[in-house]
């Protein structure tokens, strides 16, 4: 959930993230299942217990990309598919994240390459949507 508030000088907006349903203190993480799958950060999918507010920025970025393209950035039906879609767009998963995650060995081999079940399922592009591989977020920010 995002709030936009026009700045007092009428130039630009203040953006506030307001959904605190799973909020916790940085040093006292109490939830292992957080974030809706389409907006879930890799740290959560891999089971990394030391996540930070960076996962909120990941979700926010995925939401902005969806607003820009007209389709979800990572429309996954499973954790395996989500990780595959993330790697398709961002490249290989960093080995340190694979090693740190409690579920890293479920999805990746010891050398960090994805296991066979972490595969991409080709999806057709929605009519009138923009290609997510050609995002120009600077252009998008100017339109806002």
Number of structural domains (the chain) is 1
16's enclosing H/E stretch is strand 13-17
Hey, which of 5-14, 15-24, 102-111, 131-140 has the most confident mean pLDDT?
102-111
| 85 within a domain of the structure (yes/no) | yes
| 2 within a domain of the structure (yes/no) | no
| 15 within a domain of the structure (yes/no) | no
Average pLDDT over residues 17-40: 72
Q: What is the pLDDT of residue 58?
A: 92
Which CATH number does the domain housing residue 67 bear?
Answer: 1.10.510.10
% of the chain beyond a pLDDT of 90: 38
* pLDDT band at 53; cut points 50, 70, 90: confident
Tell me the per-residue pLDDT of 1-13, one tens digit each, with 9 for 90 and over. 777 778 877 777 7
DSSP class of residue 32?
S
Confirm if 38 and 75 have CB atoms less than 8 A apart. Answer: yes
Q: How far apart are CA 93 and CA 36, in angstroms?
A: 20
Confirm if 85 and 120 have CB atoms less than 8 A apart. Answer: yes
Confirm if 132 and 71 have CB atoms less than 8 A apart. Answer: yes
| 17 within a domain of the structure (yes/no) | no
Between 40 and 122, name the one with better pLDDT: 40
State which residues form the domain around 88.
25-143
Please, what is the average pLDDT of the chain? 80
Average pLDDT over residues 65-69: 86
Q: What is the pLDDT of residue 25?
A: 65
CA angle 44, 38, 12 (to 5 degrees): 100
């Amino acid at each position: 959930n995002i709030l936009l508030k026009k700045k007092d000088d009428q130039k630009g907006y203040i953006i506030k993230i307001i959904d605190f349903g799973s909020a916790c203190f940085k040093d006292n993480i109490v939830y292992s299942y957080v974030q809706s799958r389409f907006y879930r950060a890799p740290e959560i999918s891999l089971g990394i217990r030391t996540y930070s507010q960076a996962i909120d920025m990941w979700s926010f970025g995925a939401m902005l990309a969806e607003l820009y393209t007209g389709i979800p950035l990572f429309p996954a039906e499973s954790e395996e598919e989500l990780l595959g879609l993330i790697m398709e767009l961002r490249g290989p998963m960093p080995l340190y994240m694979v090693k740190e995650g409690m579920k890293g060995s479920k999805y990746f081999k010891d050398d960090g390459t994805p296991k066979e079940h972490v595969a991409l399922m080709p999806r057709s592009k929605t009519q009138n949507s923009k290609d997510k591989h050609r995002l120009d977020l600077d252009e998008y920010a100017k339109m806002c």
